[in-house]
Amino acid sequence: MEDLSFRHPVRARAGGARRSAIVGVVASGNLEVLVERVLPDAECAVEIKTAAVGFGEVWSAVIGDFVERYSPGGLKFSINDGGARPDTVSLRLAQAVRLIAENGQ
Amino acid sequence: MTSWQNNRAARDARIAAGSSVARGKIVEAHDVTRLLEAVVRPGDRVCLEGDNQKQADLLSRALLAVDLSRVNDLHMVQSGVVLPEHLDLFDRGVAKRLDYAYSGPQSARIARMLFGGKIELGAVHTYLELFARYFIDLTPHVALIAAVSADREGNLYTGPNTEDTPTVVEATAFKDGIVIAQVNEILETVPRVDIPADRVHFIVKADKPFFVEPLFTRDPAAITEGQILTAMLAIKGIYAPYSVQRLNHGIGFSTAAIELLLPTFGERLGLKGRIATHFALNPHPALIPAIESGWVRQIHSFGSEVGMDDYIRARSDVYFTGPDGSLRSNRAFCQTAGLYACDMFIGSTLQIDLQGNSSTVTTSRIAGFGGAPNMGADARGRRHPSEPWLRAGAEADPDSPAPLRRGRKLVVQIGETFGDKNVPLFVENLDAIELAEKLKLELAPVMIYGDDVTHIVTEEGVANLLLCRTAQEREQAIRGVAGYTDVGRRRDRGMVARLRERGVIRRPEDLGINPLDADRSLLAARSIKDLVRWSGGLYAPPSKFRNW
Amino acid sequence: MTAPLKDVAPAERARSTSFYEASARTRLELLLDAGSLIEFIGPGQREVSPHLKIFDLPEQFDDGIVVGHGRLDGSPVFVAAQEGRFMGGAFGEVHGAKLTGLLRAAREIGTVPVLVLFDTGGVRLQEANAGELAIAEIMRAVMEARSAGVKVIGLIGGRSGCYGGGGLIAGCCSALAVSEPGRIAVSGPEVIETNRGVEEFDSRDRALVWRTMGGKHRRLLGAADVFADDNVQDFREAALELLGLVGPFGLDRLKAEQDRLAGRLRSFGACGDAIDIWTAEGIADAQAVPELPADQFIALANRIGRTSRDAR
Amino acid sequence: MLDEIIASLFPDGHEVRRDKGVILGSATLRSGVRMLVLGVADRTALGVDEAIRLSGHVLDSIGRDSGPILVLVDSDSQRMSKRDELLGLNEFLAHLAKVLIHADTNGRPTIGLLYGHSAAGALLATGLATRVLVGLPGAEPAVMDLPSMAKVTKLSMEALQEKAKSTPVFAPGLSNLAQMGAVHMIWSNAASLADQLEALLVDLPAARDQRDALGKERGGRLKAAEIAERVRDLALQVR
């Protein structure tokens, strides 16, 4: 296992009112993303525990593009990864943002 | 005095020798090795029918058991090296030289044996190429073939999996060769005559039906969101703008996803009747929903698929069937159709390099190519015009006068940027090149050449290589859809952005597709069971695909 | 951007969502009245398995099970749903303890039923002792809850089936609903093949696997009382139906179960295959059973009429 | 070995028979109380045929007798066969466990005595379905055997054995199960089993399942009790 952690300044606060949301499952080639609205509006953090060791650079690129594109201000993402491919990671992150942007608790 | 009929005399001698173990043309299963020892000569070119589906498995076991002092050093000329026995022949010394086209399940072992010098390799062919050589310089002396049934005269019914048999028999029987068929049963009258009796010299009733691999069944349950997104991009970004009606699909999950999206996503885009109406394609179970929804007018097939017989029989408006009602497939004709009568090939591969060359060969696996290099090639000669062909030609060469401009066949590589076990699809250099060096091959085993490829589709977007004007643009267009692979991350971001502005690269949002909509609920069938339902119970999947 | 492709009523979504395919959370979301689920010790609490790190394996924030409270047609229910894709839905220490705690609360309250959405291969290998014991505790907690008047309903139709100790817990429930892809057994096909050889059981013969352990066989045997089509709405309706059918638990139920099981051994003990059992049950074309669509199969099963009602 | 154990448990005599691996009978304690005896012997696999006899033995006794129930265990795993699964082995094993649990919570305290091997479903349906599970020295329960584990986890036997030193959570063995709270106590071979049984019966714990608390106390299972308790509290609050 490898732990990775990223912090990014963000342009704008993520939309919606939900406090937290979760998408995905931990399985081979899959991951879960827990997103929580716990940070200041101009910050975003991503914490990763991954079964695939040695892919820090790829994660960095994936997270960088994701933050750029979705501006998830105020959100902390916690990821348990079963060795998912980068496109799956991008998709789950986007799904997490969509879910937390829905109305609800 | 010169004799001009030596080969005929030799053939007659072989038949006479073989007849000693036969009653009429019929040989008992336990006598087959004796028959082969009588009929086959050292150094013969032998076609042991191994297609990518149907296998003359009894005959391959019998050949493996021959007395080496009587039969040895054979030159195997067969399209498929699929059964372990096919390679055991080389281990044992029955065979020495090999010319083939496809080796799916034996790909790792064949690589080891090539490295070990156990096999003297002629060449790795495409199907059409090997078939062509059957008539020029690789004509078999003996063909060992598989059929469903025979009558006592030797008329053969090859059934839905006719595949290569007519071609092999044509080349062998009309050039003084010997044709030996294994059949599942001997009947008074065969359901239809696929091979006339005068081309068949011996028949053997096998103790069990010949083995057929269900090679074209993709379980919809295993299709991922990424594959669905990629399929959506292909439909909206290629099928729709080029109005592709006549085409061939590969066997991967991405194209299975396309087949399953036609009646849902495709329907919503109003594309029914405008795209995907005529196929050169095996009877893919995944196409059942599209057929049932009225999308598909006609399909010609290379081979058949396990479990599809009753469905095909009941849908003879769509498939080619014989007077008996069952499918008639023919690999040579279908390959030709794919090459000359289709406007698009779309399929997956294992590796794509920066020029767009692709290969399924890796340093430890030599899978061969089967039909893909013919399907995925732009036949350069004269061709009839069609809308997609003309449009692609115009994109590639906008400046030539239209009446003189060649069209282009659409050759589309589709895949996810990372494959199984997170192996990247895009590479700086193909493993095929390294392999060619190691084996001292004059030609690297490239499957589809980059200059034939017109589009690459990944979950990141569609790259239209027809619109690239320089090698550098082409490279950046490929990098621009290569996602987070090393190749993708080393892109020139500015150039990729400019290519996107020109429409060379189109992202999901450029096509009006939200990646979050790429959901399995879009699939017309999400399980094999759904396919059975769509077929009205006519599709009978093999046990390994069931969960009921 | 295109508009969302699906914007449909919850019941319609539940009808079009395969139970087999859906995640544990999606199953609960669509099974219960919309928005009614309150989860206990949700993923935000990060109560992960303390043991997986020993094996350098990834954890899941909810340890593969969602437990909570919700409403079904307005009435309160406790729910537990296993995630069959995480570690095969297997029982570990935390995973099991969540279900144990839920059942203990149900026993104290006495009137709120429990729905258990099984999806499990059994004991989680990496914490085998803790998992085995968790299953023992759950079995005891199920029986104590039932003795206190609680209805415990099992719903089985997930990817990982209901194997190992999960099969024993299911056997303790007041009633079961099962779908065609659902499987209930103790030993898995691969385990039997590994231990006894391919002659005893060919695990790759999936038709054999399903007719031996699958939902249709369990329904025809009377082990499950309701057969659900593979969608969440059907399971919702099955749960409601079973809640209406289940009566109070007592010694008489165990005696009836003894008779039921002993009778099964007498009637079918010599049968070598499910086809023989179905034929012995009076099904004329037993071979065709696996191919029957849900509605026809339900009609057939009802005609055969084998049930465990009041006998489990 | 079983005969010696039974003789040591019931010096005043017993009617305990062993038939095809199934133990059935009853015995009289020195206090005069009749004790129902059942179990699995000779490392027999517990299948449908065995389980139905055991559950029937308990059910026949309910209403007729009153004393405690002893479950002796030296079994294989559940019987792994096509026939047993075809007939619904999970129901037969669950039924046996249910009968034992019901008896225990309705005035017929159950005691399991693990004197040999046991595993997986067989252990769940017998020893782990009793109120108090006692181990005898030399007993060797194995929820999962290490060679199978090595195969699935792709770790070497040595690596697994090394890991097993730091945690009782996965490796086979009586002491591991005791630490988890599954085995309540380990009796001595040196003392009379009758004495130890009678001492246990005099001071029997309540019928409430306390194995998670026991596992926590013994340091083998640190989370189970707390998690169960937290869920229970939350669930009770939600009404």
**H helix intervals, B293-452:** 309-314, 331-340, 372-375, 387-396, 431-438
Range(s) of the domain holding residue A41: 2-100
Query: CB burial class (10 A; 0-12, 13-18, 19+) of residue B261?
Result: buried
B418–A86 C-beta distance less than 8 A? yes
What's the token pair of residue B255? 């194209």
Residues B207 and B293 in one domain: no
Residues B228 and B348 in one domain: yes
C45 near A CB under 8 A:
no
- The rounded mean pLDDT for chain B is 95
Residues B287 and B389 in one domain: yes
Q: How many domains does chain A have?
A: 1
Which chain A residue has the Cα nearest residue C65? Answer: A25
| Shortest CA gap C60–chain A (Å) | 6
Task: Please give the Cα distance from B417 to B482 (Å, whole number).
Answer: 6
Helix/strand/coil for A44: strand
Task: Please give the Cα distance from C13 to B128 (Å, whole number).
Answer: 49
Would you say residue C5 has pLDDT above 80? no
Residues B285 and B165 in one domain: no
Helix/strand/coil for D191: coil
- Percent of chain B's residues with pLDDT above 70: 100
B507 near C CB under 8 A:
no
Q: How far apart are the first and last CA of chain A?
A: 33
Task: Please give the Cα distance from D70 to B273 (Å, whole number).
Answer: 75
Chain C residues near residue A80 by CB distance under 8 angstroms = 58-61
Total length of chain A = 105
Number of separate helices (H) and strands (E) present in chain C: 12, 7
What pLDDT is attached to residue B210?
84
Q: How confident is the model at residue C229 (pLDDT cuts 50, 70, 90)?
A: very high
From the first residue on, what is the mean pLDDT of each consecutive set of 10 residues in chain D (239 residues)? Answer: 93 94 95 94 98 98 94 96 98 98 97 96 98 96 84 86 91 95 95 95 94 96 97 93
Read off the pLDDT of each residue in B128-134 and give the average, rounded to a whole number: 96
Chains A and B touch (3+ CB pairs under 8 A): yes
Query: Does B7 reside within a domain?
Result: no
Residues B252 and B139 in one domain: no
- Percent of chain C's residues with pLDDT above 70: 97
> How far is CA A19 from its chain centroid?
15
| Shortest CA gap B465–chain C (Å) | 25
B382 near C CB under 8 A:
no
Residues B231 and B171 in one domain: no
Q: How confident is the model at residue B358 (pLDDT cuts 50, 70, 90)?
A: very high
Which is more confident, C142 or C8?
A: C142
Query: Does B544 reside within a domain?
Result: no
Task: Please give the Cα distance from B301 to B337 (Å, whole number).
Answer: 10
Chain C residues near residue D226 by CB distance under 8 angstroms = 97
Measured between CB atoms, which of C51, C139, C170 is closest to D97? C139
Read off the pLDDT of each residue in B273-302 and give the average, rounded to a whole number: 98
Interface test with C, best of B235, B517, B548 (most C CBs within 10 A): B548
Q: How confident is the model at residue B523 (pLDDT cuts 50, 70, 90)?
A: very high
Which positions ≥6 away from A51 have C-beta within 8 Å?
A: A1, A81, A82, A83, C56, C57, C58
Residues B379 and B318 in one domain: yes
Q: How far apart are the first and last CA of chain B?
A: 72
CB atoms within 10 A of CB B66: 21
- Percent of chain B's residues with pLDDT above 90: 85
What's the token pair of residue C57? 């394996």
| Bridge partners for B75 per DSSP | B45, B97
Domains of chain C: 5-184+224-249 (3.90.226.10)
| Bridge partners for B463 per DSSP | B456, B505
Q: Which helix (H) or strand (E) holds C101?
A: helix C93-109
Would you say residue B537 has pLDDT above 60? yes
CA distances from C203 to C198, C212, C213, D24, D154 (A): 7, 11, 12, 36, 21
| Bridge partners for B26 per DSSP | B23, B203
**H helix intervals, chain A:** 56-70, 86-101
Give the end of a domain, one of B212, B229, B259: B212
Which CATH superfamily is D2-137+187-207 part of? 2-enoyl-CoA Hydratase; Chain A, domain 1 (3.90.226.10)
CATH number for the domain including A13? Answer: 3.30.230
Chains A and C touch (3+ CB pairs under 8 A): yes
Residue for token pair 């039909």: B371
Task: Please give the Cα distance from D239 to D227 (Å, whole number).
Answer: 20
Give the end of a domain, one of B212, B244, B262: B212
Q: Which helix (H) or strand (E) holds C87?
A: none
Measured between CB atoms, which of C38, C98, C137 is closest to D212? C137
Task: Please give the Cα distance from B174 to B129 (Å, whole number).
Answer: 19
Task: Please give the Cα distance from C210 to C181 (Å, whole number).
Answer: 8
A30 near B CB under 8 A:
no
What pLDDT is attached to residue C2?
36
Which chain D residue has the Cα nearest residue C308? Answer: D91
Query: Does A105 reside within a domain?
Result: no
Nearest Cα to Cα of residue B164 among B204, B202, B131, B186: B131
Query: Does B12 reside within a domain?
Result: no
| Shortest CA gap A80–chain C (Å) | 6
Chains B and C touch (3+ CB pairs under 8 A): yes
Task: Please give the Cα distance from B229 to A69 (Å, whole number).
Answer: 18
- The rounded mean pLDDT for chain C is 95
Strands A31-37, A20-24: pairing kind: antiparallel
B459 near A CB under 8 A:
yes
Which is more confident, B358 or A104?
A: B358
Would you say residue C117 has pLDDT above 70? yes
What pLDDT is attached to residue C126?
94
Q: How far apart are the first and last CA of chain D?
A: 54
Strands A75-81, A31-37: pairing kind: antiparallel
CATH number for the domain including B416? Answer: 3.40.1080.20
What pLDDT is attached to residue A103?
62
The answer to whether the CB of C286 falls within 8 A of the CB of C278 is yes
What are the φ/ψ torsions at residue B83 (nearest 5 degrees)? -85, 150
Task: Please give the Cα distance from D78 to C164 (Å, whole number).
Answer: 10
Task: Please give the Cα distance from C29 to C27 (Å, whole number).
Answer: 6
B418–A87 C-beta distance less than 8 A? yes
Rg (CA), chain D: 18
C3 near B CB under 8 A:
no
Read off the pLDDT of each residue in B370-394 and give the average, rounded to a whole number: 92
Domain boundaries, chain D: 2-137+187-207
What pLDDT is attached to residue A104?
54
CB atoms within 10 A of CB C32: 24
Chains with ≥3 CB–CB distances under 8 Å to D: C
Task: Please give the Cα distance from C128 to A69 (Å, whole number).
Answer: 44
Read off the pLDDT of each residue in C75-103 and give the average, rounded to a whole number: 98
DSSP string, B415-470: --SB-GGG-BSB-SS-HHHHHHHHTT-SS---SB-GGG--EEEETTEEEEGGG--S
Residues B46 and B189 in one domain: yes
Would you say residue C96 has pLDDT above 90? yes
| Bridge partners for B457 per DSSP | B414, B462
* Interface ipTM: 0.91
Interface test with A, best of B229, B420, B422 (most A CBs within 10 A): B422
Residue for token pair 């399971």: C235
| Bridge partners for D72 per DSSP | D39, D113
Q: How many domains does chain B have?
A: 2
Helix/strand/coil for C17: coil
Query: Does A65 reside within a domain?
Result: yes
Query: Does B1 reside within a domain?
Result: no
D209–C40 C-beta distance less than 8 A? no
Task: Please give the Cα distance from B151 to B194 (Å, whole number).
Answer: 12
Range(s) of the domain holding residue B482: 220-528
Q: Is D183 left (phi over 0), alpha (psi -120 to 50) or beta?
A: beta
Q: Which long-range contacts link C241-245 to residues 24+ away (Cβ below 8 Å)?
A: C241/C177, C242/C151, C242/C153, C242/C174, C242/C175, C242/C176, C242/C177, C243/C72, C243/C113, C243/C151, C243/C153, C245/C175, C245/C309
Q: How confident is the model at residue C3 (pLDDT cuts 50, 70, 90)?
A: very low
Which chain A residue has the Cα nearest residue C37? Answer: A105
Give the DSSP letter of residue B264: I
**H helix intervals, chain D:** 2-9, 48-61, 82-86, 89-105, 120-125, 146-153, 157-166, 174-180, 193-202, 211-217, 224-237
DSSP string, B201-239: -EEEE-SSPPPB---S---GGG--HHHHHHHHHHIIIII
| Shortest CA gap C140–chain D (Å) | 7
Chains B and D touch (3+ CB pairs under 8 A): no
Residues B226 and B118 in one domain: no
> How far is CA D69 from its chain centroid?
12
Give the end of a domain, one of B212, B243, B265: B212
| Shortest CA gap A31–chain C (Å) | 9
Query: Does B115 reside within a domain?
Result: yes
Which chain D residue has the Cα nearest residue C219? Answer: D88
Q: Which of B50-54, B283-287, B479-483 has the lowest mean pLDDT?
A: B50-54
The answer to whether the CB of B82 falls within 8 A of the CB of B370 is no
Task: Please give the Cα distance from B38 to C37 (Å, whole number).
Answer: 78
What pLDDT is attached to residue C10?
81
The answer to whether the CB of A44 falls within 8 A of the CB of A10 is yes
The answer to whether the CB of D46 falls within 8 A of the CB of D75 is yes
Residues B432 and B365 in one domain: yes
pLDDT in tens, C259-287: 999 999 999 999 999 999 999 999 999 99
CATH number for the domain including B57? Answer: 3.40.1080.10
Nearest Cα to Cα of residue D148 among D176, D128, D171: D171
Chain C residues near residue B519 by CB distance under 8 angstroms = 5-6
CA distances from A1 to B382, B467, C57 (A): 58, 44, 7
What pLDDT is attached to residue A105?
46
What pLDDT is attached to residue D48?
98
What pLDDT is attached to residue D147?
80
The answer to whether the CB of C148 falls within 8 A of the CB of D223 is no
| Shortest CA gap B520–chain A (Å) | 14
pLDDT in tens, B193-225: 999 999 999 999 998 888 888 889 999 999 999
Task: Please give the Cα distance from C302 to C255 (Å, whole number).
Answer: 24
Nearest Cα to Cα of residue C255 among D11, D61, B15, D155: D61
Read off the pLDDT of each residue in B40-63 and give the average, rounded to a whole number: 93
Read off the pLDDT of each residue in A26-49 and give the average, rounded to a whole number: 96
Task: Please give the Cα distance from D17 to D38 (Å, whole number).
Answer: 9
